[in-house]
Amino acid sequence: MASQSVMSAFGRQAPGLGTTNQSAPFSFKSSPAVGRDYGSKPSVGALMNPTLHNNVPEPMVNSTARVPIFARPFSRGFEKHYSEGDVLFVQRGDERAAMTKHHGSHNVVANIPVLNYLLRTTKVGGNGADKEQLKYSSIDKVLNAFNYFGILNNDMDTGSKWQRLLNVNVRGRSRVARMWKPKERRLKRGDQLWLAFVEKTSSKIQTFEGPNGVREAMADGTTYIEVVPTMDCCDDFKDALYLIPIGIVSQVTMKTPIRGVLNAACHVTEKCKLLERIEVLMRI
């Protein structure tokens, strides 16, 4: 009797396994087969529900808040290679991001290699004299164009090959690619991780690998802005035009990555995917 009254006090009918997000309406089912009339697809409204939920009476420790976001496809399919642990940015000022009655919001979502590619290659365009100049030539222009969003957790709609509905960690515990390396010592718990926007100039005709691994040339003396992972002991931290705190390290892998691999991971999505994953506490 006593246990029943305790359970009823918490509004629970039977003791469960302690798992959360498994009972309706909090679960996200695997994507069903799409019928001819698209009637069996989950509505966008249902998928846009936040997933932060605590179904236990204890205080939630090291919780995670996630939000879904529709990724607009790139013509070269960059977004198809995003994987768990990618740091994601969202482009601002895109009217297609607004949700309407007929279609859901679609955002230009970029991980670090894609963002660096956009910053390095997007030209002003048009017919002006500066049409060949880089569009994102100053930090203000970059910040007006892109917002830091979160860390990719998983794909919520695996049934579609046209679009990606990404489930993104925005606060709390998250797995992220180990792109950070202190200047002298090992990465350890409690370290704070940052992303820095730094200004760089190509010293000669340089070639850069794009997100897909295809090399492209850059003219000599071109000044561009790049996003690099950094820590407060690193040179990039002191030289940064802008810093974004990513989180505090809570779990680290044993193997220290090589500096060259880390540099390549800032440019090529596949290299970033090969990095080990560490655990961080975001926006705390």
Partner 1 sequence: MYSSQKRRRIKPFARPTSFDINVVFDIRHYQHVKYGNVISPYFPTAGEPEAFKVMEGEVLMQTNKPSVRRYGDHQMHVFSFANGLEATDDRGRVTGVLNANDGDNPDKASVLAGLKYAGVAVTEFTPEKDIFEQGFVLTLAGLNTIFNNGSSIIYPGDILCADIPRAAGKGARKNRALQTGIPRDKLQFITTPYRELKAEVGEEIASRFIMGTALSYSRPGSSVDIVLHRCNVVCTRKATPTVPLVIQGGSSSSKRKGKKT
DSSP H or E stretch at residue 229:
strand 223-230
Which one, 46 or 56, has the nearer CB to partner 1? 56
Shortest distance (Å) from residue 60 CB to partner 1? 7
Do the Cβ atoms of 261 and 271 come closer than 8 Å? yes
Is residue 264 within 8 A of residue 207, CB to CB? The reply is no
- CA of residue 120 relative to chain centroid, distance: 19
CB of 242 to partner 1, least distance (A): 5
Shortest separation between residue 71's beta carbon and partner 1, angstroms: 21
List residues binding partner 1 (CB under 8 A). Answer: 59-63, 148, 171-173, 185-190, 192, 239-245, 247-248, 250, 252, 254, 281-284
Nearer to partner 1, 78 or 194 (CB): 194
Assign 250 to helix, strand or coil. Answer: strand
Residue closer to partner 1 by CB (options 67, 156) is 67
Distance (Å, whole) CA 248 – CA 270: 25
Q: Could you tell me how many residues make up the chain?
A: 284
165 versus 280: smaller Cβ distance to partner 1: 280
* Shortest separation between residue 196's beta carbon and partner 1, angstroms: 9
Of 206 and 250, CB closest to partner 1:
250
63: tokens are: 């919780």
Residue 47, token pair as written in the block: 């998928």
Give the closest residue to 192 by CA, choosing from 239, 262, 247: 247
**Residue where the block lists tokens 């996200």:** 28
> Measured from the CB atom, is 57 or 77 closer to partner 1?
57
Minimum CB separation of residue 90 from partner 1 in Å reads 13
Question: Closest approach of Cβ 270 to partner 1, in Å?
Answer: 26
Least gap, CB of 108 to partner 1 (angstroms): 19
Q: CB-based contacts of 210: which residues, under 8 Å, 6+ apart?
A: 113, 117, 121, 216, 267, 268
C-beta of 21 vs 207, nearer to partner 1: 21
State the residue for tokens 């290679």: 81
108 to 26, 87, 92, 97, 202: CA distances (angstroms): 27, 14, 8, 8, 27
- Rounded CA gap, 189 and 212, in Å? 33
